[in-house]
């Protein structure tokens, strides 16, 4: 009987959500549920939602409407993730056929929730909000990729940037012990993983509950786990970005040549109103540490355009900061007012058309910057981790330590397996990818 319970899970949002889903899948499987590939084949349909931007909650409600008829067929529904936490019991009002509403800070209680569901209970909630000090750790994580895996080192966020829902949807900051992180890294290495991505909304706010290791020390320790060839970490907050982190990257080649450091705006005035806790100058100082490193470290960032009160002069400061730094990639978004956040009460009077043209101007500028950066790599030999093949184009796809996409050909007859590492001579550069030829197979 137990083996006959099936579930379908769909995930939206960031890497934290993607990884939460891997843990949720592992937990469900441990509870006797079997994952299926279609909603049709499932008894339980789970929907892991994101509410970072746009009208996310509206999209969720629209989707839930579609489920009405499936409920009549006996299927049950769980809404997880940030929209679940944000909207809470309101979801039951608008979609009475939903049985479980749970935010990420409550996932460790999923087994209990499943028991309640099976007992026929309705309106089961896991809405821990900012109450919990616990993290969601499970040995049953069902990782989707067999050679690159995530490890959450810190959950939640205490930063309260004026525009951001995360402190309300993911609870307060709580770090895992370095012992438990390292044990997980060793277990992963033992089962064949060579790349680890350490995750957290603010990875560098990491505070070891055992007091053993700083974030930089933890990075170094994960980088020294035998078998691990690449370590990445996401997302760093500029306020807590230390020289020690750069020194760790310099000292341990397994730590990838890449830092994602969201700046959000190039104007100190806007940064202050965003409650980012750093100025333009302080941000640029951190960039100078990274750019002075012994190895070239790629830099990527996030930008919000059209934050309430952003003047043209503020915007030009952002554009100027992009020129000064020369980022390897920029993820830029139009400001979107989010429920519960302080910015929702601010004067969001910049017309949408103006936000769009500022966004477009940044993207155009950035494309040219990237064209130059990617072209500069022509002639260099990069170590690439193979991700897949494109038989139509006869190309192998992979990623460099700097996190750049590399498409390459291989004159040797063997096709390198996904997860293997190949040295590639770069022959061409595009704004978002490199092209090359394999020089040795390792
Ligand atoms: N509006 C627009 N962009 C946002 N981000 C977060 N909240 C908002 C918002 N309300 C962006 C930030 C963040 C990235 C994950 O999403 O740039 O770094
Ligand atoms: Fe979206 Fe933020 Fe939640 Fe990730 S943490 S799913 S980005 S709202």
**DSSP symbol at 153:** -
Alpha carbon of 117 to ligand 1 centroid (Å): 35
Q: For a pLDDT cut of 70, what percent of the chain falls above it?
A: 98
Cβ of 366 closer than 6 Å to ligand 2, yes or no, is no
Strand 195-199 and strand 230-234: the pairing is parallel
Give me the pLDDT at residue 370, please.
Answer: 98
pLDDT in tens, 258-295: 999 999 999 999 999 999 999 999 999 999 999 999 99
Mean per-residue pLDDT for 350-358? 97
Atom 2 of ligand 1: nearest residue by CA position: 335
Cα distance between residue 159 and residue 237, in whole Å: 9
Give me the pLDDT at residue 2, please.
Answer: 46
* CB 154 within 8 Å of CB 171: no
Residues with Cβ < 8 Å from 187, sequence gap 6 or more? Answer: none
Give yes or no for a cis peptide into 422 (omega within 30° of 0): no
Q: What are phi and psi of 302, to 5 degrees?
A: -115, 145
Alpha carbon of 186 to ligand 2 centroid (Å): 28
- For the ranges 128-137, 179-188, 206-215, the lowest mean pLDDT is seen at 128-137
Q: What are phi and psi of 152, to 5 degrees?
A: -80, 130
Give me the pLDDT at residue 216, please.
Answer: 98
- For the ranges 2-16, 207-221, 254-268, 397-411, the lowest mean pLDDT is seen at 2-16
Give me the pLDDT at residue 3, please.
Answer: 60
Atom 6 of ligand 2: nearest residue by CA position: 50
- pLDDT tier, 72 (very low <50, low <70, confident <90, very high otherwise): confident
- Average pLDDT over the chain reads 95
Mean per-residue pLDDT for 114-136? 91
pLDDT in tens, 22-39: 999 999 999 999 999 999
Cα distance between residue 271 and residue 262, in whole Å: 12
Cα distance between residue 437 and residue 433, in whole Å: 14
Q: What is the radius of gyration, based on Cα positions, of the chain?
A: 23
pLDDT in tens, 160-193: 999 999 999 999 999 999 999 999 999 999 999 9
Cβ of 228 closer than 6 Å to ligand 2, yes or no, is no
Distances (CA, A) of 435 to 201, 325, 328, 440: 32, 24, 16, 16
- For the ranges 125-129, 156-160, 284-288, 365-369, the lowest mean pLDDT is seen at 125-129
Cα distance between residue 239 and residue 120, in whole Å: 48
Cα distance between residue 317 and residue 124, in whole Å: 48
Helices (H), 75-135: 81-87, 90-94, 110-118
Alpha carbon of 304 to ligand 2 centroid (Å): 16
pLDDT in tens, 377-392: 999 999 999 999 988 8
* CB 104 within 8 Å of CB 169: yes
Mutation pick for ligand 1 pocket among 16, 18, 164 (CB with most ligand atoms within 8 Å): 164
pLDDT in tens, 301-323: 999 999 999 999 999 999 999 99
Tokens of 325: 């730094």
**What domains appear along the chain, each with residue ranges and CATH number?**
6-126 (3.40.50.12160), 148-375 (3.80.30.20), 381-438 (2.40.50.230)
* CB 23 within 8 Å of CB 106: no
- pLDDT tier, 137 (very low <50, low <70, confident <90, very high otherwise): confident
Task: Locate the ligand 2 atom nearest the alpha carbon of residue 48 and give its number.
Answer: 6
pTM: 0.94
Q: Is the pLDDT of residue 441 over 60?
A: no
- pLDDT tier, 86 (very low <50, low <70, confident <90, very high otherwise): very high
Alpha carbon of 146 to ligand 2 centroid (Å): 24
Give me the pLDDT at residue 1, please.
Answer: 44
DSSP 167-233: HHHS-S-EEPPHHHHHHHHHHHHHTT--EEEEE-TTGGG---TTS---HHHHHHHHHTSTT--EEEE
* CB 162 within 8 Å of CB 336: no
Query: What residues form DSSP beta bridges with 305?
Result: 334
pLDDT in tens, 150-161: 999 999 999 999
């Amino acid at each position: 009987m137990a083996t006959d319970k099936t579930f379908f899970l769909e995930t939206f949002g960031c890497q934290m959500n993607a990884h939460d889903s891997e843990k949720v899948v592992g937990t469900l499987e441990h509870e006797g549920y079997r994952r299926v590939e279609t909603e049709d084949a499932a008894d339980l349909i789970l929907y892991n939602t994101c509410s970072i931007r746009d009208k996310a909650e509206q999209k969720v409600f629209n989707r839930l409407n579609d489920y009405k008829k499936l409920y009549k067929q006996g299927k049950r529904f769980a809404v997880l993730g940030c929209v679940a936490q944000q909207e809470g019991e309101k979801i039951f009002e608008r979609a009475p056929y939903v049985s479980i509403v749970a935010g990420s800070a409550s996932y460790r209680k999923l087994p209990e929730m499943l028991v309640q569901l099976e007992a026929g209970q309705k309106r089961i909630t896991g809405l821990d909000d900012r109450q919990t000090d616990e993290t969601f750790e499970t040995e049953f994580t069902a990782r989707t990729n067999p050679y690159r895996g995530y490890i959450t080192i810190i959950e939640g966020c205490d930063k309260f940037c004026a525009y951001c829902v995360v402190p309300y949807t993911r609870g307060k900051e709580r770090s895992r012990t370095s012992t438990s992180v390292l044990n997980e890294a060793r277990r992963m290495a033992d089962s064949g993983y060579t790349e680890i991505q350490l995750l957290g909304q603010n990875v560098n706010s990491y505070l070891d509950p055992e007091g053993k290791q700083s974030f930089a020390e933890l990075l170094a320790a994960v980088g020294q786990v035998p078998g691990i060839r690449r370590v990445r970490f996401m997302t760093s907050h500029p306020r807590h970005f230390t020289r020690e982190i750069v020194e760790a990257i310099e000292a341990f080649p397994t730590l990838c040549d890449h830092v994602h450091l969201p700046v959000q705006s190039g104007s100190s005035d806007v940064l202050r109103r965003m409650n980012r806790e750093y100025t333009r100058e302080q941000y640029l100082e951190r960039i100078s540490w990274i750019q002075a490193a012994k190895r070239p470290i790629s830099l990527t960032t996030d930008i919000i355009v059209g934050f309430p009160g952003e003047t043209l002069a503020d915007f030009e400061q952002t554009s100027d900061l992009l020129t000064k730094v020369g980022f390897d990639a920029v993820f830029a978004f139009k400001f979107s007012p989010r429920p519960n956040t302080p910015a929702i009460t601010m004067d969001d009077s910049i017309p949408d058309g103006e936000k769009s043209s500022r966004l477009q101007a940044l993207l155009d500028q950035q494309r040219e910057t990237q064209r130059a950066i990617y072209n500069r790599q022509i002639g260099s030999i990069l170590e690439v981790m193979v991700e897949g093949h494109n038989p139509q184009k006869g190309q192998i796809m992979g990623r460099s330590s700097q996190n750049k996409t590399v498409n390459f050909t291989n004159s040797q007859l063997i096709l390198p397996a996904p997860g293997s590492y190949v040295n590639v001579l770069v022959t061409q550069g595009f704004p978002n990818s490199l092209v090359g030829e394999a020089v040795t197979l390792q």
